[in-house]
C-alpha cells in the first residue's frame, strides 16, 4: 500500500526552481507523522520534482530528507530513478522512452549532517540518474 503527500508549490513551470508555499508544510508534517504512526515509510524527492534533464546533473538538492530523518529518528535509504524524464516531459506527456530503472540502495551509512546527505545524494543518485548504473564507489559515500 502506498500514498502521496505533497508540498504545495507556486505554479512556476516544470523544470524551474521550486517555490514552496510554506503554509502547506504544517499539513505535510501532520501527514508524515500519521504515515509513521500507521507503520509506513516515506519517500522524498530531494530535488523537489522530477529532473527533466538528468544528463546535465541534478537540480538543487534540498536537505529536508535529512531533517525529517533526524526528527523522526529514522534512517535514510537513498533511491534513484533513471529514464523517468522520458515518460514525464517538461513540455507535457510526450513519451519518448519507456525504459525506467529504480534503484533502492541498502542502508549503508548514517548521515551526520544535511550537507553530508546532499553531497552523497548528489554523487550517488546523480550518477545513477544520468547513466542508469551505480556510481563505481557508491559504498564509499
- The pLDDT tens digits of the residues spanning 5-40 come to 777 777 766 666 767 777 777 888 888 889 888 988
**What is residue 15's predicted lDDT score, i.e. its pLDDT?**
63
CB 109 within 8 A of CB 77: no
Residue ranges for the chain with pLDDT beneath 50: none
**What is residue 135's predicted lDDT score, i.e. its pLDDT?**
93
Q: Output the pTM of the full model.
A: 0.79
**What is residue 14's predicted lDDT score, i.e. its pLDDT?**
64
Amino acid at each position: 500500500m502506498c500514498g502521496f503527500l505533497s508540498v504545495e508549490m507556486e505554479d512556476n513551470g516544470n523544470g524551474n526552481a521550486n517555490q514552496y508555499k510554506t503554509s502547506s508544510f504544517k499539513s505535510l508534517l501532520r501527514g508524515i507523522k500519521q504515515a509513521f504512526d500507521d507503520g509506513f515509510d516515506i519517500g522524498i524527492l530531494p530535488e523537489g520534482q522530477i529532473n527533466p534533464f538528468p544528463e546535465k546533473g541534478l537540480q538543487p538538492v534540498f536537505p529536508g530528507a535529512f531533517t525529517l530523518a533526524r526528527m523522526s529518528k529514522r534512517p535514510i535509504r537513498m533511491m534513484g530513478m533513471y529514464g523517468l524524464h522520458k515518460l514525464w516531459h517538461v513540455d507535457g506527456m510526450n513519451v519518448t522512452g519507456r525504459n525506467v530503472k529504480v534503484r533502492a540502495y541498502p542502508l549503508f551509512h548514517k548521515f551526520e549532517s544535511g550537507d553530508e546527505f546532499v553531497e552523497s545524494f548528489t554523487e550517488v543518485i546523480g550518477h545513477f540518474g544520468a547513466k542508469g548504473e551505480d556510481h563505481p564507489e557508491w559504498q564509499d559515500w
